[in-house]
């Protein structure tokens, strides 16, 4: 009976995932119109500058009940005015679905918002492990000077609701104030 | 608005998870009667010798739909006759639920068996990342000389069906043959 080599490898220092079916998205400045507060500063950035990218493994089609998806997000260091580079953020389409995050490299914030628009954040540092509650929007922010990377594991039927955030945003923004991250009401 | 320290930390070198609600099980020799093939060799082991333990985070009650559970399993090095120390193994109670594994330390095998009792295995080494398909029993085996540890992430409504394995076992066993692991028909 057969013993096979592992199909996927994860580098725990960087979060880089290798394997035959690793796929992801890239979000560049041109993909993030309307996300950051300072439109003047945003317009000065090179449109093809990378802000973040993902490398994920999807063993079953999105929407399948009972599966788990797994992957790494890499956020580049940078700011738009005083606001740190960050992901768009989303609720899950099936809003009760949870998710777990675990940090590989760099420093950041996990910004969370419930359906009543209460907003809070958790610091992310290498090894930090986070549980995203049901009905909670989540966004990650690179507050450091190096690439910030973290793994995520989430149900394959969770889906993404980006529209609620595109319309109403989060109720707070992660800004650099005197060199440190502060969560400022939006 | 509040920025909190992370609640949980994972040591990527060892898999040790720390935090306020980390819980787990210990399986000692006395808990594993009937699991290993060589009953004579098994009876020679100290009943309180540790075989494996877990350290997990369960943010919602077991059986809740849409949550993710997360934790580390640590398997001690050792054999029962020529058979390596291993976990009991299980199907999920909701048998279509998947799971992902990722290795922190040591070397081992992920032994898998489908409902037709076809059995196969994947090598586990630090960084190796594994996807357990639906309807597939899974068991892990320490084939090295040091503690073997790996993380797991699985749906909170998966549950455990240990009884099927307790009754019929896996159709193969991981044995040390000439110093190397071989999957031998049971």
Pairwise CB contact (< 8 Å): B8 & A119: no
pLDDT for res A163: 94
In the predicted structure, residue B157 carries a pLDDT above the cut 80: yes
Are the Cβ atoms of A12 and B10 closer than 8 angstroms? no
Q: What are B97's two structure tokens?
A: 């639920």
Supply the pLDDT for residue A144.
98
The chain-wide mean pLDDT, for chain B, equals: 96
The residue among B35, B120, B119 whose CA lies nearest residue B79 is B35
pLDDT tens, A7-37? 999 999 999 999 998 999 999 999 999 999 9
Residue with tokens 């057969």: A2
**pLDDT, tens digit, for every residue of A104-121?**
999 999 999 999 999 999
Instruction: Tell me: pLDDT of B1 over 80.
Output: no
What structural domains does chain A harbor?
A: 9-185 (2.60.120.10)
> How many Å apart are CA A13 and CA B126, to the nearest integer?
11
Pick from B6, B66, B183: CB nearest A97? B66
Q: A63 contacts in B (CB within 8 Å)?
A: none
Q: Flag the least confident range among A40-44, B57-61, B79-83, B114-118.
A: B57-61
Contact call for A97 and B19, based on CB within 8 A: no
In 3D space, the residue among A75, A183, A151 whose CA is nearest the CA of residue B3 turns out to be: A183
pLDDT at B46 > cutoff 80: yes
Give me the pLDDT at residue B149, please: 98
pLDDT > 90? residue B50: yes
Of A124-128, B51-55, B62-66, B71-75, give the lowest mean pLDDT range. Answer: B62-66
Task: State mean pLDDT over B15-38.
Answer: 96
Residue A26 pLDDT? 97
pTM: 0.95
Q: Which residues in chain A are contacts of B66 at CB distance < 8 A? A: 94, 96-98, 134, 155, 158
Q: What is the mean predicted confidence (pLDDT) over B32-60? A: 97
Label residue B140 by pLDDT band (50, 70, 90). Answer: very high
Average pLDDT of B153-170? 95
What percent of chain B stands above pLDDT 90?
98
Cβ contact (<8 Å) for A66 and B127?
Answer: no
Closest CA to A151 of A88, A87, A69: A69
Work out how many CB contacts closer than 8 A connect A with B.
175
Minimum Cα–Cα distance from B118: chain A residue:
A1
Rounded to the nearest angstrom, the minimum Cα separation between A91 and chain B is: 13
Q: Which of B94, B122, B153 sits opposite A68 (nearest CB)?
A: B153
Is residue A85 classed exposed, middle or buried when 0-12, 13-18 and 19+ CB atoms within 10 A define those classes?
A: buried
The predicted structure's pLDDT at residue A52:
98
Q: Which of A88, A72, A68 is nearest to A11 (CA)?
A: A72
Of chain A, the percentage scoring pLDDT greater than 90 comes to: 98
Q: Which chain A residues contact residue B57 at CB under 8 A?
A: 100, 129, 131
Flag if B131 and A8 touch (Cβ within 8 Å).
Answer: yes
Give A45→chain B minimum CA distance, Å.
28
Q: Nearest by CB to B120, from A1, A153, A155: name it.
A: A1
Confidence class for position A176, pLDDT limits 50, 70, 90 = very high
C-beta atoms surrounding B64 within 10 Å: 16
Nearest CA in chain A to B69: A100
Question: pLDDT tens digits, residue range B11-24?
Answer: 999 999 999 989 99
* pLDDT at residue B21, as a whole number: 86
CA A165 to CA A186: how far, in whole Å?
A: 13
Kindly state the DSSP code that residue A44 receives in the 8-state scheme.
Answer: T
Residue A102 burial (10 A CB sphere; 0-12, 13-18, 19+)? buried
Q: How far apart are CA A125 and CA B42, in angstroms?
A: 44
């Amino acid at each position: 009976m057969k013993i096979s080599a592992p199909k996927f490898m994860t580098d725990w220092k960087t979060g880089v995932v290798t394997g035959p079916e690793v796929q992801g998205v890239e979000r560049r400045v041109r993909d993030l119109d309307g996300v950051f507060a300072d439109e003047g500063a945003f317009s000065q950035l090179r449109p093809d500058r990378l802000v973040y990218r993902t490398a994920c493994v999807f063993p079953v089609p999105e929407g399948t009940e009972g599966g788990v998806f797994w992957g790494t997000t890499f956020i580049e260091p940078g700011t738009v005015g005083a606001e740190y580079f960050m992901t768009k953020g989303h609720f899950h389409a099936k809003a009760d679905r949870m998710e777990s995050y675990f940090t590989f490299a760099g420093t950041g914030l996990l910004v969370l918002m419930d359906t009543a628009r209460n907003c809070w954040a958790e610091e992310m540092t290498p090894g930090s492990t986070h549980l995203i509650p049901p009905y909670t929007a989540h966004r990650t922010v690179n507050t450091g000077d190096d690439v910030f990377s973290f793994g995520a594991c989430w149900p394959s039927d969770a889906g993404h609701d980006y529209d609620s955030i595109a319309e109403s945003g989060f109720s707070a923004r992660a800004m650099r104030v005197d060199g440190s991250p502060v969560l400022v009401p939006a």
